Structure 1
Amino acid sequence: MKIELPKPIANYVEANARLDVEGMLKPFAVDAVVLDNGDRHEGHAELRTLLEEAVIPVKAIFTPDTVRHESGQVVLKGPAHGDFKGSPIRFTYRFTLDNDAIKALEITL
């Protein structure tokens, strides 16, 4: 089942499926903030480090299977598969968009 996503989020998800760091970074605003597992990453340089150190080595691919809009955010849920303990693990991704860019992303279990 294919779900309809706003373009910047769809671009991020599609790039993640290819493990394409540049493609995953492109939809984010320059000053975007990602909260992942309690850690805060701000701006493209920190996001690149996060992707290169935590996503690419373990081939972590998030495949959303539900989407809802809540309090101005786009909330996705689905499994992440990869070469990591417990794979697959279900995650919730809460995206905040601004001017066709991802302004913030919070990733939780």
Structure 2
Amino acid sequence: MPPPIARYFAGKNAGDFGTGLAGFSESAVVQDEGHRHEGPAAIRAWMEETSARYNDKAEIKRAARNGDEIEVTAQILGTFPGSPITLRFRFTLEGDRIARLEIES
């Protein structure tokens, strides 16, 4: 697992949003639940809001790399109907930073 992606999951799971955000580029974009979050401030706000709303924790089940794209499958546990669920996290890296993250069921 590339370090910026490992930091994202470790930080998000621990509620340490600074660590979770550290691997994202300044122009990074997150696409989740039909919403686009662009730039560090918006991404941090998204992390904080989803953690507060869902109290979600990810357990990584699989990761596969294809060039600069890494797809991670994780079981998500939280305080939401249907928990746990399995989601796919598609990361695009530019160098050693996350440029894009798309989350899908």
Which TM-score applies when normalising by structure 2? 0.92
Contact in 2 for aligned 1:79/1:89 (Cα 8 Å) = yes
Q: Which runs of 4+ in 1 moved over 3 A?
A: none
Q: State the Cα deviation string for residues 40-67 of structure 1 (Å, max 9, x = none).
A: 1100111111111112342111121101
SS in 2 for 1:12: helix
Equivalent in 51, 57, 79 of residue 55 of structure 1: 51
Name structure 2 gaps, 5 residues minimum: none
Equivalent in 16, 20, 27 of residue 16 of structure 2: 20
Q: Distance in 2 between matches of 1:20 and 1:59?
A: 13
The structure with the largest strand share of the pair is: 2
Alignment of 1:61-80 (within 5 A): 61-70=57-66, 72-80=68-76
Between the aligned residues of both structures, percent identity stands at: 34
Q: Distance in 1 between matches of 2:20 and 2:52?
A: 11
Displacement after TM superposition at 1:71 (Å): 5.6
Name structure 1 gaps, 5 residues minimum: none
Q: State the Cα deviation string for residues 52-93 of structure 1 (Å, max 9, x = none).
A: 111234211112110112363100002111111111110000
Q: Distance in 1 between matches of 2:56 and 2:17?
A: 12
Q: Distance in 2 between matches of 1:23 and 1:106?
A: 19
Q: Distance in 2 between matches of 1:95 and 1:68?
A: 10
Shifted more, 67-76 versus 36-45: the winner is 67-76
Aligned residue pairs total 105
Contact in 2 for aligned 1:33/1:40 (Cα 8 Å) = yes
